[in-house]
Amino acid sequence: MSVAVAVLGFVGVLAWRIREGRTAVTIRKIVIPPLGMATGFSMFMVPMFRVPWMWAAVAFLLGAIVLAIPLIRTSRLKLVGDQVMMHRSASFFVVIVVLGIIRILAHSYLDTVMSIQQTAGLFFILAFGMILHWRMNMLFEYRRLTGGRLPETAGL
**CB of 74 within 8 A of CB of 88?**
yes
Query: What is the tens place of the pLDDT at every residue in 60-113?
Result: 999 999 989 988 998 889 998 888 988 877 787 787 788 778 877 887 788 788
Q: What is the pTM of this model?
A: 0.79
How far is it, in rounded angstroms, from Cα 141 to Cα 30? 11
